Amino acid sequence: MVQTQESPVKITSSGQNEKIHSMLQKVKVVTVIGSGTMGNGICHVFAQFGFQVHMMDIKQEAMDKAIATISKNMDRQVAKNTLSEEAKKEALSRITTYTDMASAVKDADVVVEAATENIDLKIKIFQDLDRLCPAHTILATNTSSISITRIGSYTKRPGKVIGMHFMNPVPVMRLVEIINGYATDNEVTQLVHDLSAYLGKVPCVVGDYPGFISNRILMPLINEAILALQEGVAGVEEIDTIMKLGMAHPMGPLQLADFIGLDTCYSIMHVLHMGFGNQKYAPATLLANMVQAGYLGVKSGEGFYKYTPGSKELVVSERFENKKWK
């Protein structure tokens, strides 16, 4: 049963209020597939807003680590007085972990898949979900670039397959990019839209084209920054500083690429390149080489910058150091 909790979304009419409560009667259990950075963030938000959350991963150790991360992130909210200690304990109590998919999804009203950005893996997961979930279950994917229509075509319920693309870090970032597949039912889109709003997010509905909107625009920007570095136009620090101070970006494109993961950036650029068949979307050679060599950014400890555990200092990788102008 969904816990009664005031929504942070300002309801402007009793009709909207009834609509939200009606929607919540339909969604009591949410299963999240994957306990990595995105998966644990999605679990965090759903649990905080009163849903029973089933976290599913193939390794219990990964989920134990995810629960510890959620608890630590909620501690930050408690310190900022945006969450009470009691609410934190209640939210954590709503999360149950599973290593068996059948058990994790048998009561699910909505499933959000947050596995690695790999089309073959996602197709396999959705085939299993289609077979194991109740007929009414909505199957959402947190994919950042892969076709919803293609994923849905491997199920017997393409009308209930939709993209629900959260931004990282999930508890902080307000956007949810909702992607309709060609066959997605309007009722499913409306429910996911309302559900996202209930979570305090701002839902934006877009069509199913490579990269959708967020990464169709963001990834070529990042790729162009990498090309500028590759061609020696400017250094890492200069490129990021120009975009931060000149364009008011909170984080430079190279630092952002490190944060996202260079392997993920490469995968998305590959999807764009293949999807549009346009050379302008080809991943930069430097990006491909860094991924091949294992320099993936924050997750590997080094990308365009070098990351030392416990330090917040932004240090350019020695591989990209250049002359310091005075």
Question: Is 177 one of the catalytic residues?
Answer: yes
Bin 268: left if φ > 0, else alpha if -120 < ψ < 50, else beta: alpha
Quick check: helix, strand or coil at residue 143? coil
Q: Which of 40, 117, 145, 165 is catalytic?
A: 165
Which letter, b or e, does each residue of 84-93 get, where b requires 16 or more Cβ atoms within 10 Å of its Cβ? eeebbeebbe
Q: Report yes or no: 4 and 175 within 8 Å, Cβ to Cβ.
A: no
Helices (H), the chain: 14-26, 37-48, 60-79, 85-93, 101-105, 119-132, 148-152, 186-198, 214-230, 236-241, 247, 253-260, 262-276, 285-293
Question: Is 215 one of the catalytic residues?
Answer: yes
Helices (H), 144-301: 148-152, 186-198, 214-230, 236-241, 247, 253-260, 262-276, 285-293
Of 11, 9, 97, the residue nearest 47 (C-alpha):
97
Q: Which of 35, 40, 73, 144 is catalytic?
A: 144
Of 207, 194, 36, the residue nearest 117 (C-alpha):
36
Q: Which of 44, 54, 73, 177 is catalytic?
A: 177
Q: Which of 215, 223, 237, 302 is catalytic?
A: 215
Cα Rg, the chain, nearest whole Å: 20
Residues assigned a catalytic role: 144, 165, 177, 215
